Copies of this chain bind each other. A is one copy, B any other.
């Protein structure tokens, strides 16, 4: 469905549009932010999709991520989907900060009642970009899209890229959940959205498992990952980047860059510090 523009905010030479539409995939209203760089007023610009982490709305990274400084300079639009449906009114939907509302995990739930609404994979890969390119087709180039994200959104960026070879030009992630089948956050949400009977199903949504089968583009994977060594969630084993790194190496996948950033935490102070690098990583493949 077409978007209503709730507000238009001048920032870094471009405009941040706060949009809302009713999704047929999630059967709820969905908020989306879209940053249009100044170049979009004269040419079609490529798009970097930014997937946020647990609890976030499209506003958190729009306000605190500072992707717009680099996106303005490079001429790249940034698209910020929400992290889940909101207001589906399912039992227990808002009881936990790491399951249900704000924690859609960018998968399609198969277990009732979640399966009726929690279909963020289809929403982010199909309905949302189709609706965006239809409404902003004069400003955005649907043929040039990259994807990035933070934490749960890093898991989303990695898995959606790996599941859809050729759909995105590049992928990157900040403090991503790299091996959800093996970490507490992933086990809780996968059990809730997929059930516990078929653990093989879980592997289809786990970057560390998916990368083992990566053959696209001669096994090259245009991936940049940053993780802070002071990140408590990293220390607690929620992110497990070493597992992904090992799988990448064993599969002979090339082109992947892991960076461990000394002392950085899990917050927007970390994200904003490296936002420029992630925009420039995408720019290498978008231009």
Residues in chain A within 8 A of chain B (CB atoms): 9-13, 16, 63-64, 66, 68-69, 228, 230, 261-265, 267-270, 272-273, 276
Give the chain B neighbours of A16 by CB distance below 8 A: 269
Interface centre among A11, A13, A268, A276 (most CB of B within 10 A): A11
Give the chain B neighbours of A68 by CB distance below 8 A: 272
Give the chain B neighbours of A264 by CB distance below 8 A: 10-11
Complex-state Cα separation, A63 to B228, whole angstroms: 18
Q: Which of B12, B263, B267, B272 contacts A273 (CB 8 A)?
A: B12
Complex-state Cα separation, A71 to B262, whole angstroms: 20
Total identical chains: 2
Give the chain B neighbours of A12 by CB distance below 8 A: 272-273
User: When the two chains form their complex, are residues A262 and B63 in contact, meaning their CB atoms are under 8 A apart?
Assistant: no
User: When the two chains form their complex, are residues B230 and A269 in contact, meaning their CB atoms are under 8 A apart?
Assistant: no
User: When the two chains form their complex, are residues B272 and A11 in contact, meaning their CB atoms are under 8 A apart?
Assistant: yes
Interface centre among A230, A268, A272 (most CB of B within 10 A): A272
12 of the cross-chain contacts (CB-CB < 8 Å) are A9-B265, A9-B269, A10-B230, A10-B262, A10-B263, A10-B264, A10-B265, A10-B269, A13-B273, A63-B63, A66-B66, A66-B272
A251 CB to closest chain B CB (Å) equals 32
A151 CB to closest chain B CB (Å) equals 17
Give the chain B neighbours of A11 by CB distance below 8 A: 264, 269-270, 272-273
Give the chain B neighbours of A9 by CB distance below 8 A: 265, 267, 269
